[in-house]
Amino acid sequence: MILVIDIGNTNITVGIYNDQDLVSSFRLTTRVHRTSDEYGLLLIDYLTARHIDSKAVEDVIISSVVPKINYSFSSAIIKYFDINPLFVGPGVKSGIAIHVDSPKSLGVDRLVDAAGAYYTYGGPCLIIDFGTATTFDVINEKGVFLGGSITPGIGIVSNALSSMAAQLPEIEIMKPEHAIAKNTITAMQSGLVNGYIGQTEYLIQKIKEEYGSDMRVISTGGYGKMITRETDMIDIFDGDLTFKGLKIIYDKNKTNKEK
């Protein structure tokens, strides 16, 4: 079995592959100050709860956008699984050519999603990841990463409303029945969710104007399902896209890792 792990700003998501099949997944809250023992025991406990023996784990690949966690998390994998994990980064084959001003500055989460989308659905495609930040990334028909757009995630916008305006409360992020509301909470929900749908559709429209209307639009991320079901401009929601990308990258580097 292979563990594919994505360390994000809000959550750490873990997928478990048996050969080419994703058999289970779970998520942890990202906490910078957890020790290697805490991470190791949490991983063991989650695997045990799914009736998976940690000794069945043959290898681990990790993508991370939180450098402060990498040492303790890597130490946890080495200590509790006796495996030296593969981190996605410079020198790791992704199968995606990166044509941006500074390729090394591209977030590995975006690269992983690009590999997952291109090798699963083909190109050209537009990948929208609704995470802590929302990213819009374009991959052409040859698997070249052409660039993207980054906006604050819907959770960040919601938190900003409640934290920066004294009389606005924290709210559940959900789409209300009507655009115009008769109370503050529903009004915030309407503006937040409907506004985010509008932003998403506008960016899709502008990107297609620049790169061609024939590209497939693929969404993923924590809020991806909610936004996708409210618009017909997104073709596919794939909640496992990052896991697929990590497994694809792992397979491309497996031979090198075994040497």
Q: Give the chain's radius of gyration (CA, Å).
A: 19
| Mean pLDDT, the chain, whole residue set | 93
Q: What is the pLDDT of residues 176-191, one digit of tens each?
A: 999 999 999 999 999 9
Say how many C-beta atoms besides its own lie within 10 A of residue 109's C-beta: 24
Say if CB 140 and CB 125 are below 8 A apart: no
Fold matches, 2-87 and 97-241: yes
- H/E element, 222: none
Q: Residue 184 corresponds to which amino acid?
A: T
What architecture is domain 97-241?
A: 2-Layer Sandwich (3.30)
Q: Which CATH class is domain 2-87?
A: alpha beta
Say how many C-beta atoms besides its own lie within 10 A of residue 208's C-beta: 17
Say if CB 190 and CB 184 are below 8 A apart: no
**E strands within 131-235?**
133-139, 144-152, 216-220
Res. 256 pLDDT band, cuts 50 70 90: low
pLDDT at 255 over 80: no
Cα–Cα distance, 15 to 6 (Å, whole number)? 9
pLDDT at 259 over 70: no
- The pair of three-digit structure tokens given for residue 207, joined into one six-digit string: 């990107």
* Strand pairing category for 216-220 and 97-98: unpaired
Q: Which of 45, 82, 101, 109 is catalytic?
A: 109
Three-state SS at 1: coil
List the chain domain ranges: 2-87, 97-241
pLDDT at 113 over 60: yes
> What average pLDDT does the segment 95-114 reach?
93
Q: Of the ranges 57-61, 64-68, 208-212, 255-259, which one carries the lowest mean pLDDT score?
A: 255-259
pTM over 0.85: yes
- H/E element, 15: strand 11-18
- The pair of three-digit structure tokens given for residue 109, joined into one six-digit string: 């989460």
Q: What is the pLDDT of residues 130-160, one digit of tens each?
A: 998 999 999 999 999 999 999 999 999 999 9
Please tell me the predicted confidence (pLDDT) of residue 90: 84
Q: Specify burial of residue 221 (Cβ count, 10 A radius: 0-12, 13-18, 19+).
A: buried
Cα–Cα distance, 101 to 149 (Å, whole number)? 14
> What average pLDDT does the segment 33-42 reach?
94
> What average pLDDT does the segment 222-226 reach?
92
Cα–Cα distance, 171 to 164 (Å, whole number)? 14
> What average pLDDT does the segment 160-176 reach?
88
Rounded to 5°, angle at Cα 123 from 117 and 124 = 115
Please tell me the predicted confidence (pLDDT) of residue 184: 92
Cα–Cα distance, 25 to 242 (Å, whole number)? 12
Q: Which of 156, 224, 162 is nearest to 188 (CA)?
A: 162
Give catalytic status of residue 21 as yes or no. no
